[in-house]
Structure 1
């Protein structure tokens, strides 16, 4: 009977693994992800093991794992692109991911979270730990001593008593107690899970649209020992605008309050001309029907509290669409002449001046079914003193605009450190309750049978147990 119980348990565990936990590499629905980094905190932490399940479709708000060149990434879906791919973002980040996977590239939605279990899995991958595990399993699988002798004894006991021989009173009482405790535990879990909602609604930030700008430039200077060709550049952004971490650009003129501008320093007394290229784009997951106007000015400011003057660089003009490319020449010899005149007229020589190129871009129209009408003015800053010119080092930037919307997600239950969907918890609780009640009935029946056995048979069993083979 013990063998049948063992085989039944192994059979049930195999089919549970086959239908619920079989890896995708073996044709199953599950994938296993070990979390690294902090991009998904506080939802997931480094070292957590996440089990995902493949779905036909995925919704905004789902935490999903998707394939990239170097492995799996697990982030949350925050939107859709016009092409139907997913926009994802880590819960601990302010900018969207570079990747926009398709439904086929998503391996599954988060189903179970095992806190800290990923560290143990990584340890078992080490050669020493794996060898120790194999050794322990090998020792467990060794046949026990005296197996044939014990088998003969059990056969004689069954012949003498007409019972199974291993069903002693204490064993069956313990089995009844364990089955009753499991029935109570699974019953309590079933009551709790049935009282919880299957879904919960929460506010999720969804990207509505994003202004992005990228600057590149070439600086013309008087030929010198450091710059024999009389030019520095072209200098371009290292990443595209949509890849730059999100940040809100200051309003026009805000850069004048900075004492220093970090970036590239060019050591020359005679800067001549800055050739500045400005690339603007409006990125949105929904179709955008927009147009607008633009202009470009240069603000010259003497120190934080000194005088300032605005010089027009590009006169107001209109454009259509979501892309704009501008080439703006800045005559630095004209700026130097202006500074020299003002210093001579006022006698005020601060020693350093802030130059800010301000492209003012106004966009009007509709994005999806929502109207948009606003100004984006990302400044390009420079600091100029008697010996060198320091140019802005932030060449790529973006200003995202998001909207909060309610999203229904599967409700979760924390059970023994596992985050389990309420629907799955109900199934587990009811299945466990039924199994424990069946076990309780079986153990109770065998206990009653043992108690009803003739006293003479139990006496023969005791004498046989002490007499040996």
Structure 2
């Protein structure tokens, strides 16, 4: 029978282990000082860009790292919290008192909100193009599920692998050494540690469970940190421009219900030579979140006189007047005598005349406004048609004196980040997600540490203790006297050889504790396979 071998764990030297631990500790410390997010106590933050306001420097989906500072300066790219639009990343243009004027590099106007130092989250120090788009694709429900399953599979597969082994040669023991163990106690694993030993049935299950728990905690933590406590969503803003035209003219007793002609009444040439037109313009939010501010513009009234053959002339009724509020009034007088003189002159010069002419009152409004923090352009042009003959001026049937034009823009709002699980209606909040991720990671790391300590204690107890912890389900304790060693005795170099044979034949491995060490035997017809483990030396004090 040839030399026999025993199994020992492959582990790095203590100096190398300490060096690796030191490097990891230093790396973790540097990460915390330099890159730790503010949501977990650091001074570093990051944002994913949305929109094109900072092009060409930043484009849609870039990852921008921010670092908080004691003071900021003109030219800094900073992220600040706008109470209406949420987090905005723009460049500081200048100081105005205790506030900053900011503007996107791709914008022509300053931001409406003027941030203070307290509103600023941090200064941009680094940016990585396109990362946001990649992470955004990973955060879709289908990809998140696939990533979680892949991580769980890899973690479980890695955790289930037993510790690598190597062979150490030693001198073959004599069969006479197989005696009942009462002279030298061989190493036995600590009972509490055995279920936690890596490579044991219970240890494999628990290590896989802790690895899965760790992977889930890391994924949940990544989602929590990448989203932050709030989420930004688009908010449609609906507004409407309204123009209402009224007119009055001189009347005669008993001619109208009122003392004078009012909107909707015909104006008779025999009674009135002038018509007073009044335009009432208003800019209104259709929904409550459309807040109107900073309205500026001009409004004017014109009268266009035209004929059926295409001839037309324009007369100004009210010159352009400035306004700076959401509502404005503008009045102007149309002289019917002037209009008839213009028509008579044209007929004389052209030799062509018509029984009726068209008079259109044109309302023109141009300007700018801000709707809930979003700048918009105002450009409204409406008209009301009248018919004019030698006797009267009357509104065309079907024409409306009140006209409007809707518009919309969009902004973004920040709201607490919440996911609702449809079947049960359970809401997952940012705080819950962060707490669950931290708890999962802490429990997983604590569990893996316990397993590592248990494995280390068992290793120090000797190879026999490690074998008993890992393969207790295959071992049958016995005495040498109870074994029939008939036939050939073959020594094996690895305990795994006995394990494979036992599992192939669905048999058991006999375990004898002897003076010369632990002996493991696999008895088959005509041959007995033997694997021996030297005893650990006993230290006498």
TM-score bracket, shorter-length normalisation:
0.3 to 0.5
TM-score, L = length of structure 1: 0.43
Greater C-alpha radius of gyration: 2
TM-score, L = length of structure 2: 0.38
